[in-house]
């Protein structure tokens, strides 16, 4: 450790939960080298932006933010600016050379190299490493928990992606898929539980293809989930994201068997049309997706299902769009993230298909999808009224210090008047009413809705 380095780092994170998890790895690597993390940007010596490339607007936001930091740098000479994550390789040339905005650029597999890269900057050079790795999983690094509520935490169990959905930039930004050592995942989960955390979300681009060889035995995702669930019955487990093509009955049965594995599945459908799904290279049809939803309903009654939807993908017709709406009605998704298609460089779609749906049509279809989902989410909340859910308390409600906020197993936010309890404890709550994003209720001694 170098005393000279006693510098403060501030990390601003964009994109998915995996990126937030990566920021915690970055904080860990650097605090091990004498830096300290701060959540006050004014006191930072180094500002990192951990970036996302998933849609063009995500990149535009980061570029604006960089301009702002650049202005800060003029007022505070010596301030260093670093760009991390998915945008690193894509735009390093522009931002480093043409616009001279950056001191450090590190891709998702280069975070161990950050101390060296920062030293290079100290000696007057730029520090750049955007190499992707076949092996890096950061398995031995204990993340520094940033912005934590002390109750829920995220653990990355794999990196990269090899599904090659034709719209998606991730295989090119995050590289080959690799699973992390199962033993290190169990150890990290156990440590979190011992520190008082009560909910762990296991993260990967496609968790269902998790695989770790332990001697003769393969640890599949279902087996890993089971091992984490066995750490303690009062530790809740969640996971994201599942690919519909390989969410197995084995996994659904494991979820049904363990009460502490949360009854919520995020199952991105993207489109309700088999023709569009084929062009997206999703490797399942509308019917196969419906069959998986039926399996979830059969094996895990009461399980919430949420999804991602893209409107206006290449060649999408009105009929295709109608099939997305009808599938949404059939599944009755509890929640959805909805986007209009944004062509990304270095993707199969950019190379082989035409981004030929006019913006106005994409916008209109997106509005129709959002309007329908609002109604479906309303109906989903309505069905919860008078039910009793076990809620893990996360803290005070944002709106009122007299109320607790927590989540039920289905991942819905529940707010209720405070009782004699603490964050990290469970309480049965009877739902009385709801707003668009929150169930409202009262603590009760009544038995749980099962």
The contact set with ligand SF4 (CB under 6 A) reads 15-16, 18-19, 52-54, 85-86, 169-170, 173-174
Q: How distant, in Å, are the alpha carbons of 393, 396, 437 from that of 428? A: 10, 17, 19
Q: Does 54 bind ligand 5AD (CB under 6 A)?
A: yes
What whole-number distance in Å separates Cα of residue 92 and Cα of residue 139? Answer: 27
- What residues does 395 pair with on adjacent strands? 405
**How many other β-carbons are positioned within 10 Å of the β-carbon of residue 284?**
19
Smallest separation (angstroms) from ligand 5AD to the CB of 316: 12
Q: Does 282 bind ligand 5AD (CB under 6 A)?
A: no
Smallest separation (angstroms) from ligand SF4 to the CB of 340: 16
From residue 310 to residue 329, what is the string marking binding to ligand 5AD with x (rule CB under 6 A)? x-------------------
From residue 292 to residue 311, what is the string marking binding to ligand 5AD with x (rule CB under 6 A)? ----------------x-x-
What whole-number distance in Å separates Cα of residue 87 and Cα of residue 49? Answer: 10
Instruction: Give the 3-state secondary structure of residue 80.
Output: strand
Q: Does 244 bind ligand 5AD (CB under 6 A)?
A: no
Q: Does 197 bind ligand 5AD (CB under 6 A)?
A: no
Q: Which of 176, 187, 198 is nearest to 143 (CA)?
A: 187
Instruction: Give the 3-state secondary structure of residue 158.
Output: strand
- Segment interacting with ligand 5AD (CB under 6 A) among 207-215, 337-345, 400-408, 434-442: 337-345
What whole-number distance in Å separates Cα of residue 17 and Cα of residue 156? Answer: 9
Backbone angles phi, psi at 337, to 5 degrees: -100, 125
Binder of residue 339, out of ligand SF4, ligand 5AD, none (CB less than 5 to 8 A by kind)? ligand 5AD
Smallest separation (angstroms) from ligand SF4 to the CB of 194: 29
Backbone angles phi, psi at 162, to 5 degrees: -125, 25
- Segment interacting with ligand 5AD (CB under 6 A) among 24-32, 178-186, 274-282, 336-344: 336-344
Of these, 25, 168, 293, 305, which contacts ligand 5AD (CB under 6 A)?
Answer: 168
Of these, 190, 342, 428, 438, which contacts ligand 5AD (CB under 6 A)?
Answer: 342
Q: Do residues 134 and 177 touch, judged by C-beta distance below 8 A?
A: no
């Amino acid at each position: 450790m170098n005393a000279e380095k006693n510098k403060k780092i501030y990390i601003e994170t964009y994109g998915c939960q995996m990126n937030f998890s990566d920021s915690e790895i970055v904080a860990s690597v650097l605090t091990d080298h004498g830096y300290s993390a701060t959540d006050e940007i004014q006191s930072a010596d180094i500002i990192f932006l951990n970036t996302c490339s998933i849609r063009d607007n995500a990149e535009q936001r980061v570029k604006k933010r960089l301009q702002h930091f650049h202005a800060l740098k003029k007022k505070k000479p010596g301030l260093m600016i670093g760009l991390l994550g998915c945008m690193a390789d894509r735009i390093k040339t522009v931002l480093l050379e043409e616009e001279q905005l950056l001191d450090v650029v590190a891709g998702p597999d280069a975070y161990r190299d950050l101390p060296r890269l920062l030293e290079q900057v100290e000696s007057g050079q730029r520090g750049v490493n955007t190499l992707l790795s076949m092996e890096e999983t950061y398995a031995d690094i204990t993340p520094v928990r940033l912005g934590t509520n002390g109750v829920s935490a995220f653990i990355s169990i794999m990196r990269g992606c090899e599904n090659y959905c034709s719209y998606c930039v991730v295989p090119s930004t995050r590289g080959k898929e690799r699973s992390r050592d199962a033993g290190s995942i169990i150890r990290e989960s156990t440590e979190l539980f011992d520190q008082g955390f009560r909910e762990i979300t296991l993260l990967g681009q496609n968790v269902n293809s998790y695989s770790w060889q332990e001697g003769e035995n393969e640890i599949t995702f279902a087996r890993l989930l089971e091992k984490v669930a066995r750490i303690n019955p009062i530790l809740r487990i969640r996971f994201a994201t599942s690919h519909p093509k390989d969410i197995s009955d084995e996994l659904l049965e494991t979820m049904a068997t363990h009460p502490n594995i949360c009854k919520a599945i995020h199952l991105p459908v993207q489109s309700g049309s088999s023709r569009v799904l084929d062009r997206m290279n999703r490797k399942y049809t509308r019917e196969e997706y419906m069959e998986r939803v039926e399996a979830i309903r059969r094996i895990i009654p009461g399980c919430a299902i949420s999804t991602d939807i893209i409107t206006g993908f290449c060649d999408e017709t009105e009929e295709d769009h109608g099939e997305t709406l009808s599938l949404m009605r059939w599944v009755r998704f509890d929640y959805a993230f909805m986007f209009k298609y944004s062509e990304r460089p270095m993707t199969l779609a950019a190379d082989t298909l035409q981004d030929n749906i006019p913006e106005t049509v994409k916008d209109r279809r997106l509005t129709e999808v959002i309007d329908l989902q609002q109604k479906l989410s309303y109906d989903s909340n309505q069905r919860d009224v008078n039910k009793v859910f076990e809620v893990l308390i996360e803290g005070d409600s944002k709106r009122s210090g007299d109320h607790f906020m927590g989540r039920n197993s289905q991942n819905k936010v529940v707010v209720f008047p405070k009782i004699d309890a603490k964050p990290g404890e469970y309480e049965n709550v009877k739902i009385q009413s709801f707003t668009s994003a929150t169930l409202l209720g009262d603590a009760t001694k009544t038995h749980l809705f099962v």
